[in-house]
Amino acid sequence: MNLGWIGLGSMGLAMARNALRAGHSLTVYNRTRSRADELALLGARVAGTPGEAAQGGCVVTMLSDDAAVEEIVSGGLLQALPPGGIHCCAATISVEQARRLTEAHRSKGQVYVSAPVFGRPEAAAAAKLYVVAAGPRDALQRLQPLFDAVGQRTTVMGEEPVAANITKISGNFLIASTIECLAEAITLARKYGVDPRQYYELLTTSLFSAPVYKTYGEPMVEDKFEPVGFKMNLGLKDARLVLAAADEAGVPMPVANVVHDRLLSGVARGLQDADWASIARIVGESAGLNTIGRSS
């Protein structure tokens, strides 16, 4: 496929690299030019503007939030994408933004597809992401070779793009809730003198053997949260997205409010760039543990 690619952060760069390795032709754009230059060494063409990246008729955006996506779309992508062209947004954005994008592209005779992904940067590098896609069937079929290049499985949620977005933000809510509950449980065990490593290994080899418990329980036990896989300020953004969606639909989500407040506390403490699993440190502090494993 001939693809435009906009957004080369920790996830986007790895995904674009895998697309190139799979034989796709990429025209890439990133505000920080050096990221794009890295891909030029692998054969990508570097675009000077978002519009230039979109001219080929199929463009992927992998950006941090609604504002970044809106800036790119209104800043040239929408005007440059030809009629019948596809904009595939792989970012975690709001339900409302997905609706706006769907209508904006429809008004131009273009096609919008939501295809957010589950997985941390290491999964992106290994092409082991889980792609959640929704949009017109023919557009999804056209994009499937790309999905195969970046992920290990694609799940189609229907023809309305917003279905993929609500799946992603509700899934991220579950991850954040698991992090919070793990942090509380491990802190309680520590306060009673239980060995945290033994506790973690018992849980993750019996009742809670799912990857999310292993992924986030290990750094909590070791008190090591680097390299950062997902920043706390992005977790807070996602908590706000799920609460906004819940409010619109009339769905009470009290746990989401707890998670939101915990993440907000972390950001207020200056931890916005820390891994969101490091909220375990805040939970520990609130229980009188000034460092992991020791009472103050």
Question: What are the tens digits of pLDDT across the range 217-242?
Answer: 999 999 999 999 999 999 999 999 99
Alpha carbons 144 and 173: distance in angstroms, whole number: 27
User: What is the average pLDDT across 55-79?
Assistant: 96
Cβ neighbour number for residue 268 with a 10 Å cutoff: 10
- 291: confidence class by pLDDT, cuts 50, 70, 90: low
Same topology, domains 2-160 and 166-295? Answer is: no
- pLDDT for 157 equals 98
Nearest to 239 by CA among 182, 180, 281: 180
Q: Which residues contact residue 29 at a Cβ distance below 8 angstroms, ignoring those fewer than 6 apart?
A: 4, 5, 6, 36, 46, 47, 48, 49, 50, 52, 53
User: What is the average pLDDT across 74-80?
Assistant: 95
Q: Confirm if 222 and 279 have CB atoms less than 8 A apart.
A: no
Q: Confirm if 259 and 177 have CB atoms less than 8 A apart.
A: yes
- 294: confidence class by pLDDT, cuts 50, 70, 90: very low
3-state class of 63 per DSSP? coil
CA distances to 72, 113, 165 from 59, rounded to whole Å, are 12, 10, 18
pTM metric for this prediction? 0.93
| Topology of domain 2-160, CATH | Rossmann fold (3.40.50)
293 pLDDT above the threshold of 50: no
| Mean pLDDT score across all residues of the chain | 95
Active-site annotation holder among 108, 128, 168, 231: 168
Question: What are the tens digits of pLDDT across the range 88-112?
Answer: 999 999 999 999 999 999 999 999 9
53 pLDDT above the threshold of 50: yes
| Topology of domain 166-295, CATH | N-(1-d-carboxylethyl)-l-norvaline Dehydrogenase; domain 2 (1.10.1040)
N- to C-terminal Cα separation, the chain: 58
User: What is the average pLDDT across 72-84?
Assistant: 96
**DSSP line for 11-43:** HHHHHHHHHHHTT-EEEEE-SSHHHHHHHHTTT
Alpha carbons 86 and 196: distance in angstroms, whole number: 49
| Rg over CA atoms, the chain | 20
2 pLDDT above the threshold of 60: yes
- pLDDT for 290 equals 63
User: What is the average pLDDT across 161-165?
Assistant: 98
Active-site residue 168, yes or no?
yes
Question: What are the tens digits of pLDDT across the range 249-263?
Answer: 999 999 999 999 999
Q: Which residues contact residue 104 at a Cβ distance below 8 angstroms, ignoring those fewer than 6 apart?
A: 73, 78, 112
Q: Which residues contact residue 128 at a Cβ distance below 8 angstroms, ignoring those fewer than 6 apart?
A: 119, 151, 152
Q: Where are the domains of the chain?
A: 2-160, 166-295
User: What is the average pLDDT across 142-169?
Assistant: 98
Cα dihedral angle (159, 165, 167, 172), rounded to 10 degrees?
160
- 85: confidence class by pLDDT, cuts 50, 70, 90: very high
